[in-house]
Protein backbone atom coordinates (compact mmCIF):
# COMPACT_ATOMS: atom_id res chain seq x y z
CA UNK A 1 0.00 0.00 0.00
CA UNK A 2 2.59 2.57 1.13
CA UNK A 3 6.21 2.45 -0.01
CA UNK A 4 8.52 5.19 1.12
CA UNK A 5 11.92 5.32 -0.50
CA UNK A 6 14.88 7.51 0.48
CA UNK A 7 12.52 10.26 1.63
CA UNK A 8 13.94 13.60 2.72
CA UNK A 9 12.19 16.79 3.80
CA UNK A 10 13.88 20.09 4.53
CA UNK A 11 12.48 23.26 6.07
CA UNK A 12 14.94 25.82 4.74
CA UNK A 13 18.33 24.64 5.98
CA UNK A 14 16.83 22.42 8.64
CA UNK A 15 16.52 18.71 7.85
CA UNK A 16 13.20 17.35 9.09
CA UNK A 17 13.48 13.90 7.47
CA UNK A 18 16.42 12.09 5.90
CA UNK A 19 16.77 8.74 4.08
CA UNK A 20 13.45 7.34 5.25
CA UNK A 21 12.51 3.90 3.93
CA UNK A 22 9.27 2.37 5.12
CA UNK A 23 6.72 -0.16 3.82
CA UNK A 24 3.23 -0.39 5.20
CA UNK A 25 1.18 -3.27 3.73
CA UNK A 26 -2.48 -2.87 2.78
CA UNK A 27 -4.98 -2.93 5.66
CA UNK A 28 -2.27 -2.97 8.30
CA UNK A 29 -1.83 -0.43 11.07
CA UNK A 30 1.36 1.43 11.84
CA UNK A 31 2.09 3.61 14.85
CA UNK A 32 4.91 6.14 14.61
CA UNK A 33 6.38 7.23 17.92
CA UNK A 34 9.32 9.41 18.86
CA UNK A 35 10.41 12.46 20.83
CA UNK A 36 9.13 15.94 19.99
CA UNK A 37 10.69 17.38 16.85
CA UNK A 38 11.87 14.00 15.51
CA UNK A 39 9.90 14.50 12.28
CA UNK A 40 7.01 12.08 12.88
CA UNK A 41 4.30 14.63 12.00
CA UNK A 42 6.29 15.73 8.94
CA UNK A 43 6.41 12.08 7.83
CA UNK A 44 2.62 11.75 8.26
CA UNK A 45 1.93 15.02 6.41
CA UNK A 46 4.20 13.87 3.58
CA UNK A 47 2.18 10.64 3.34
CA UNK A 48 -0.95 12.83 3.20
CA UNK A 49 0.50 14.86 0.32
CA UNK A 50 0.40 18.06 2.39
CA UNK A 51 4.19 18.42 2.36
CA UNK A 52 6.24 18.02 -0.82
CA UNK A 53 9.44 16.03 -0.15
CA UNK A 54 12.77 17.54 -1.09
CA UNK A 55 14.15 14.09 -2.05
CA UNK A 56 12.90 10.54 -2.42
CA UNK A 57 9.30 9.55 -2.93
CA UNK A 58 6.12 8.21 -1.39
CA UNK A 59 4.30 5.56 -3.42
CA UNK A 60 0.70 4.73 -2.61
CA UNK A 61 -0.69 1.67 -4.41
CA UNK A 62 2.31 1.95 -6.72
CA UNK A 63 1.62 5.56 -7.72
CA UNK A 64 3.94 8.35 -6.72
CA UNK A 65 2.21 10.86 -4.44
CA UNK A 66 2.26 14.38 -5.89
CA UNK A 67 -0.47 16.06 -3.81
CA UNK A 68 -3.39 15.11 -1.54
CA UNK A 69 -5.49 12.16 -2.74
CA UNK A 70 -9.23 11.86 -2.24
CA UNK A 71 -8.98 8.32 -0.88
CA UNK A 72 -6.71 9.37 2.02
CA UNK A 73 -8.44 10.46 5.22
CA UNK A 74 -6.52 12.60 7.70
CA UNK A 75 -7.42 13.26 11.33
CA UNK A 76 -5.41 16.20 12.62
CA UNK A 77 -4.15 16.74 16.16
CA UNK A 78 -6.96 19.09 17.20
CA UNK A 79 -9.49 17.57 14.85
CA UNK A 80 -9.26 20.44 12.38
CA UNK A 81 -13.03 20.94 12.61
CA UNK A 82 -14.21 24.24 11.19
CA UNK A 83 -15.64 26.24 14.13
CA UNK A 84 -18.32 27.90 11.95
CA UNK A 85 -19.84 24.62 10.83
CA UNK A 86 -22.07 22.41 12.95
CA UNK A 87 -21.07 18.79 13.59
CA UNK A 88 -23.37 17.77 10.73
CA UNK A 89 -21.97 20.33 8.27
CA UNK A 90 -18.38 19.43 9.19
CA UNK A 91 -19.05 15.75 8.45
CA UNK A 92 -20.94 16.58 5.24
CA UNK A 93 -18.22 18.94 3.93
CA UNK A 94 -16.06 16.34 2.16
CA UNK A 95 -19.13 14.65 0.62
CA UNK A 96 -20.40 18.00 -0.70
CA UNK A 97 -16.95 18.67 -2.16
CA UNK A 98 -17.31 15.40 -4.07
CA UNK A 99 -20.58 16.63 -5.58
CA UNK A 100 -22.72 13.95 -3.95
CA UNK A 101 -26.49 14.52 -4.01
CA UNK A 102 -28.27 15.76 -0.91
CA UNK A 103 -30.24 12.59 -0.12
CA UNK A 104 -27.11 10.46 -0.27
CA UNK A 105 -25.20 12.93 1.93
CA UNK A 106 -28.03 12.93 4.50
CA UNK A 107 -28.07 9.15 4.63
CA UNK A 108 -24.32 8.76 4.99
CA UNK A 109 -23.88 11.55 7.56
CA UNK A 110 -26.79 10.28 9.70
CA UNK A 111 -25.43 6.74 9.62
CA UNK A 112 -21.88 7.67 10.66
CA UNK A 113 -23.01 10.09 13.40
CA UNK A 114 -25.33 7.39 14.72
CA UNK A 115 -22.55 4.79 14.64
CA UNK A 116 -20.21 7.07 16.60
CA UNK A 117 -22.95 8.03 19.08
CA UNK A 118 -23.00 11.75 18.30
CA UNK A 119 -26.20 12.10 16.27
CA UNK A 120 -27.83 14.09 19.07
CA UNK A 121 -25.08 16.74 18.73
CA UNK A 122 -25.57 17.13 14.99
CA UNK A 123 -26.67 20.78 15.19
CA UNK A 124 -24.01 21.89 17.69
CA UNK A 125 -20.89 23.86 16.83
CA UNK A 126 -17.48 22.37 17.81
CA UNK A 127 -17.14 24.79 20.74
CA UNK A 128 -20.46 23.54 22.16
CA UNK A 129 -19.35 19.90 22.54
CA UNK A 130 -16.70 18.16 24.65
CA UNK A 131 -13.17 17.30 23.45
CA UNK A 132 -14.09 13.61 23.11
CA UNK A 133 -17.21 14.41 21.10
CA UNK A 134 -15.21 16.77 18.88
CA UNK A 135 -12.73 14.01 18.15
CA UNK A 136 -15.59 11.64 17.28
CA UNK A 137 -16.91 14.25 14.83
CA UNK A 138 -13.50 14.50 13.17
CA UNK A 139 -13.28 10.70 12.97
CA UNK A 140 -16.80 10.68 11.47
CA UNK A 141 -15.80 13.39 8.98
CA UNK A 142 -12.92 11.28 7.77
CA UNK A 143 -14.60 7.85 7.81
CA UNK A 144 -17.71 9.06 5.97
CA UNK A 145 -15.47 9.48 2.90
CA UNK A 146 -14.63 5.74 3.13
CA UNK A 147 -10.87 6.24 2.81
CA UNK A 148 -8.55 3.35 1.91
CA UNK A 149 -5.76 5.04 3.92
CA UNK A 150 -6.35 6.67 7.29
CA UNK A 151 -3.68 8.98 8.73
CA UNK A 152 -3.98 10.22 12.30
CA UNK A 153 -1.86 12.90 13.94
CA UNK A 154 -2.03 12.42 17.72
CA UNK A 155 -5.76 11.86 17.43
CA UNK A 156 -6.32 11.43 21.17
CA UNK A 157 -3.53 13.55 22.66
CA UNK A 158 -5.78 16.48 23.65
CA UNK A 159 -8.12 14.22 25.65
CA UNK A 160 -8.12 13.09 29.27
CA UNK A 161 -7.10 9.50 30.12
CA UNK A 162 -10.62 8.02 30.09
CA UNK A 163 -11.68 9.70 26.86
CA UNK A 164 -8.35 8.78 25.30
CA UNK A 165 -9.00 5.09 25.97
CA UNK A 166 -12.57 5.42 24.66
CA UNK A 167 -11.32 6.93 21.41
CA UNK A 168 -8.59 4.27 21.08
CA UNK A 169 -11.20 1.52 21.62
CA UNK A 170 -13.46 3.18 19.07
CA UNK A 171 -10.67 3.37 16.48
CA UNK A 172 -9.84 -0.32 17.04
CA UNK A 173 -13.53 -1.29 16.78
CA UNK A 174 -13.96 0.68 13.57
CA UNK A 175 -10.79 -0.86 12.13
CA UNK A 176 -11.93 -4.39 12.99
CA UNK A 177 -15.27 -3.73 11.32
CA UNK A 178 -13.84 -2.13 8.16
CA UNK A 179 -10.10 -2.72 7.88
CA UNK A 180 -8.12 0.00 6.07
CA UNK A 181 -4.46 0.95 6.05
CA UNK A 182 -3.95 3.10 9.12
CA UNK A 183 -0.92 5.18 10.09
CA UNK A 184 -0.93 7.10 13.33
CA UNK A 185 1.53 9.45 14.94
CA UNK A 186 1.51 9.41 18.71
CA UNK A 187 3.66 10.31 21.66
CA UNK A 188 1.89 7.77 23.85
CA UNK A 189 3.62 4.39 24.17
CA UNK A 190 0.37 2.77 25.32
CA UNK A 191 -1.52 4.09 22.29
CA UNK A 192 1.22 2.97 19.91
CA UNK A 193 1.14 -0.58 21.34
CA UNK A 194 -2.68 -0.71 21.47
CA UNK A 195 -3.26 0.49 17.91
CA UNK A 196 -0.09 -0.38 15.99
CA UNK A 197 0.58 -3.71 14.31
CA UNK A 198 3.91 -2.19 13.41
CA UNK A 199 5.50 0.32 15.76
CA UNK A 200 8.00 2.67 14.16
CA UNK A 201 10.39 4.38 16.57
CA UNK A 202 11.88 7.56 15.20
CA UNK A 203 14.95 9.50 16.16
CA UNK A 204 16.05 12.87 14.83
CA UNK A 205 14.82 12.92 11.19
CA UNK A 206 15.23 9.14 10.81
CA UNK A 207 13.69 5.76 11.67
CA UNK A 208 15.58 4.10 14.50
CA UNK A 209 13.79 0.81 15.00
CA UNK A 210 10.67 -1.09 13.97
CA UNK A 211 8.84 -3.43 16.33
CA UNK A 212 6.20 -5.93 15.21
CA UNK A 213 3.30 -6.19 17.63
CA UNK A 214 1.70 -9.68 17.56
CA UNK A 215 -0.90 -8.75 20.18
CA UNK A 216 -2.62 -6.10 18.09
CA UNK A 217 -6.42 -6.40 17.87
CA UNK A 218 -7.13 -7.61 21.38
CA UNK A 219 -9.37 -5.02 23.04
CA UNK A 220 -8.51 -6.42 26.49
CA UNK A 221 -4.76 -6.35 25.89
CA UNK A 222 -4.33 -3.50 28.40
CA UNK A 223 -4.94 -6.00 31.22
CA UNK A 224 -2.34 -8.51 29.98
CA UNK A 225 1.37 -8.71 30.84
CA UNK A 226 2.39 -9.13 27.14
CA UNK A 227 1.13 -5.63 26.49
CA UNK A 228 3.39 -4.23 29.19
CA UNK A 229 6.34 -6.16 27.78
CA UNK A 230 5.96 -4.48 24.41
CA UNK A 231 5.40 -1.10 26.10
CA UNK A 232 8.64 -1.69 27.98
CA UNK A 233 10.51 -2.55 24.79
CA UNK A 234 9.25 0.65 23.08
CA UNK A 235 10.14 2.65 26.20
CA UNK A 236 13.65 1.15 26.17
CA UNK A 237 14.25 2.22 22.56
CA UNK A 238 12.88 5.67 23.25
CA UNK A 239 15.02 6.14 26.38
CA UNK A 240 18.12 5.10 24.42
CA UNK A 241 17.32 7.86 21.97
CA UNK A 242 16.67 10.39 24.72
CA UNK A 243 19.91 9.60 26.58
CA UNK A 244 21.83 9.81 23.28
CA UNK A 245 20.33 13.26 22.67
CA UNK A 246 21.34 14.36 26.17
CA UNK A 247 24.89 13.06 25.62
CA UNK A 248 25.11 14.99 22.35
CA UNK A 249 24.12 18.17 24.16
Partner 1 sequence: MKVFEKLLRSRSLFGSLSILILWYVLHLAIGSKIIPGPFETIVTFFHLMTGSLLLHILSSILRITVAIVLSMGIGIPLGLWMGLSKRADSFISPIAYILYPIPKVAFLPLFMVLFGLGNSSKIILILSIIVFQIILAVRDGVKEIPKEYFYSVATLGLNRWQIYSSLVFPAVLPKIMSALRVSIGVSIATLFFSENYATTYGIGYFIMNCWVMVDYVEMFAGILAMSLMGTFIFKAVDWAEGKICPWV
Q: Which residues bind partner 1 (CB under 8 A)?
A: 45, 48, 50, 68, 70, 72-74, 76-78, 80-85, 93-94, 96-98, 125-127, 141, 145
**Cβ proximity of 213 and 197 under 8 Å:** yes
Q: How far is the CB of 93 from partner 1 (least distance, A)?
A: 6
Strand segments, DSSP code E, in the chain are: 2-11, 14-24, 29-33, 55-60, 63-64, 72-75, 149-153, 181-186, 198-203, 206-212
Directed axis angle between helix 131-143 and helix 87-97, to 10°?
20
Q: How far is the CB of 74 from partner 1 (least distance, A)?
A: 4
Contacts of residue 44, Cβ cutoff 8 Å, sequence gap at least 6? 32, 151, 152, 153, 183, 185
Comparing CB distances to partner 1, the nearer of 142 and 168 is 142
Comparing CB distances to partner 1, the nearer of 101 and 246 is 101
Q: How far is the CB of 232 from partner 1 (least distance, A)?
A: 34
Cα atoms found within 13 Å of the Cα of residue 148, Cβ hemisphere only: 10
How many residues does the structure list for the chain? Answer: 249
Comparing CB distances to partner 1, the nearer of 7 and 150 is 150
Comparing CB distances to partner 1, the nearer of 13 and 67 is 67
Q: How far is the CB of 129 from partner 1 (least distance, A)?
A: 12
Amino acid sequence: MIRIRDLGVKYGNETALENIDLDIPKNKTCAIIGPSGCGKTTLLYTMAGLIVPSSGKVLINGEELKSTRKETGVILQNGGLLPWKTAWDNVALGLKARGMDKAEINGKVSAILEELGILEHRDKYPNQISGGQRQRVSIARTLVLEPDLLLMDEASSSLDAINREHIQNLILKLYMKNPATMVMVTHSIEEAVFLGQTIVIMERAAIKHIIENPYFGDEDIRTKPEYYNICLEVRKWLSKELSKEEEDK
